[in-house]
Structure 1
Amino acid sequence: MNLRAVDLNLLVIFDTLMREKHVTRAARKVPMSQPAMSSALARLRVLFADELFIRVNGQMEPTPRAIEISAGVTRILKEAERLMLSEVSFDPSASGLTFSGRMADLMGSMLLPELLATVTSQAPGVKINIEHTPIDKTITALEDGNLDFALSSQLRHTSGVISEPVITDRLVCIMRPQHPLTSGKLTLDAFLNIGHLHVATSSADVRFVDDLLSGKRLRRNIAVTIPHWLTLPFVLARTDLISVVSEKMATTPHFSGLVIKALPFDAPPFSWNLYWHKRDTSNVAHLWLREQIFRVCSLI
């Protein structure tokens, strides 16, 4: 293929269509007229010799070929963005950059209000997309350039990914006030035998507490597994399940009304970390965003 004959703006349009899955919404994002977006889609189909998007229930669903090339297109656009950005050209107040990050829903509820208030004030044109990336795919997404940052804990990563602690925390047990285990000290036997409500974003998402128990050759009784932290307090309020969460999370308004108990075994403090790829360490725009995240985390 002769790249000189290819309009590379089509890659931006493809990436927007992958995100929006709707021609009219994608046209508003770029921005361009709806007929121009339809025309660009027709050119993309010729370029890649594939339909790329098929209309299903009012949405443009990507074909297997579109899904295959999506990660590569996103990576190319990210690299082009980095290439064009220099220390003298970055101005938060005038920037229109888009950053993609990964954090759990509850972490987002703790950080995003203050972070987005800061970003909106200093950089009204900057956009932030928070992705629902499974724990076991987060590092790969950082390496591939599909994520700019991640906020999580204890992610095993390669030397290409940098992590820095931003919040110190510890594990606690929570339950409803009417729970039979609220009276007296929580014993290890009671903790292990009662039903636990476990939060996991994927099958590979194993919490710190399970690693600790495994090291003691113990296992808790996980009765229910759910994918979202913000569902947890509603379930606990109506059942005799218990759950292990971070103390920072347990003391947020989302968990008000639940009883916090110390774990019946030694659990050392742990940290929530900010992860990013080392290629972005000196990138001024990324450095600016990390500074905002560090500041917000210091307030928690």
Structure 2
Amino acid sequence: MKINVLDIKRLDLNLAVVFVAIWQERSVTKAAARLALSQAATSAALARLREACGDALFVRVRDGMAPTPRAVAMAERLEAGVADLWQVLTQQQGFDPGSASRRFSIGMSDDFELALGPHLTRLVRQAGDGVSVTFRQTNRHAVGQMMQDREIELAVVSGTVKSAWIAHEPIGQSGYACVVDERAVRCPLPLSLDDYLALPQLLVSFSGRSGIVDTALHAMKRTRHVYAALTHFSAIPAFLIGTRAVATLPSHAAAALARMSPLSVCAAPLDLGSYPVELLWRRDSDGESAIQWMRTQIKRAFALAWDDAAAVAPSTRAARRPRNVRTAN
């Protein structure tokens, strides 16, 4: 399609950027801060957008600015257009980790840090001395805001995150396993349900009150005794070693803890199911060769962590092996 450049010339293409910022932030004030503009300049740009489109586009509501149906219909194409324009105008040569100096900021909860982090840092170090990784704590509830604030560039989360401006790719699944100090619990492994419920339980939960095990036991009309609750998986060895107790946690984290401590891993004696693991990044970084390279490294690290979990306790694996991912270092 031939574009009439005279018609395009009459438009300020910066207005598209302002639209995308307000769409993503749902706030003129936040959009202004993100664009390094004054609030007055951003409000003026919105007024020009409204005039050009013949629609209010965003209306003030209690929690910020809500898009009109016209804005919703425009958003996906404008986001993609702005991203494509940026990619074309800033096209760079492919990322070379051997010569680049680049720090990546990656969000994940500490169970993924335990399982994926060491593999990922080894892969990065092998690729080049100028590349490094900063890990930031996040989860599927906090990841959107952290990406909006550009605190992180990529993230690994459990479950699914749906957002128009966040790209996501499933990289596998995980399940649950038990970790114990086998000498201290004095029970044969894998644990029977009765032995499992007879043991004091160490809970790892953000709320500190209940978890997926309690939900499953409630359906069975059974209960357990939780003697302590933690918020970080990395603290588990200090609480379990030498203690007659059990903790139930994601199988990838269980395998990682068993590799670094005397703890043993076994399958959970009740069906806790499995859940997807997703890799997230901002859509406006889709064409960056550095981000594409790091996505590949994260997928390789996840595949290596999956192999670790299968090697430590094959019966605990609840995931299909990630496809088309090379695991060789």
Task: Decide: shared fold, TM above 0.5.
Answer: yes
Q: Which amino acid aligns with 1:236?
A: L
Give the deviation of 1:286 after TM superposition: 1.0
| More divergent stretch after superposition (258-267 vs 211-220) | 211-220
**Which residue number in structure 2 is paired with residue 243 of structure 1?**
247
Mapped pair 1:175 → 2:199? no
Aligned equivalent of 2:281, options 276, 281, 290: 276
**Which residue number in structure 2 is paired with residue 289 of structure 1?**
294
TM-score (normalizing by structure 1): 0.60
Native 8 Å contact 1:175 1:243 kept in 2: yes
Native 8 Å contact 1:100 1:149 kept in 2: yes
Native 8 Å contact 1:172 1:262 kept in 2: yes
**Alpha-carbon distance in structure 1 between the residues aligned to 2:284 and 2:221:** 41
1:19-58 alignment, distance < 5 Å = none
TM-score (normalizing by structure 2): 0.55
Mapped pair 1:229 → 2:233? yes
When Rg is computed on C-alpha atoms for both structures, the one with the higher figure is 2
Q: Which amino acid aligns with 2:234?
A: L
**Alpha-carbon distance in structure 2 between the residues aligned to 1:210 and 1:153:** 19
Give % identity.
22
Could you give the per-residue CA deviations for residues 15-54 of structure 1, whole angstroms, max 9, x where no partner exists?
A: xxxxxxxxxxxxxxxxxxxxxxxxxxxxxxxxxxxxxxxx
Native 8 Å contact 1:197 1:223 kept in 2: yes
Mapped pair 1:142 → 2:147? yes
**Alpha-carbon distance in structure 1 between the residues aligned to 2:114 and 2:243:** 24
1:74-93 alignment, distance < 5 Å = 86-93=90-97
**Alpha-carbon distance in structure 2 between the residues aligned to 1:297 and 1:130:** 15
Q: Name stretches of at least 5 consecutive residues in structure 1 with no aligned partner.
A: 1-68
Native 8 Å contact 1:175 1:260 kept in 2: yes
Give the deviation of 1:247 after TM superposition: 2.7
Could you give the per-residue CA deviations for residues 192-217 of structure 1, whole angstroms, max 9, x where no partner exists?
A: 564321223x4399754455446667
Indicate the SS of the match to 2:268.
coil
**Alpha-carbon distance in structure 2 between the residues aligned to 1:178 and 1:75:** 59
Native 8 Å contact 1:104 1:229 kept in 2: no
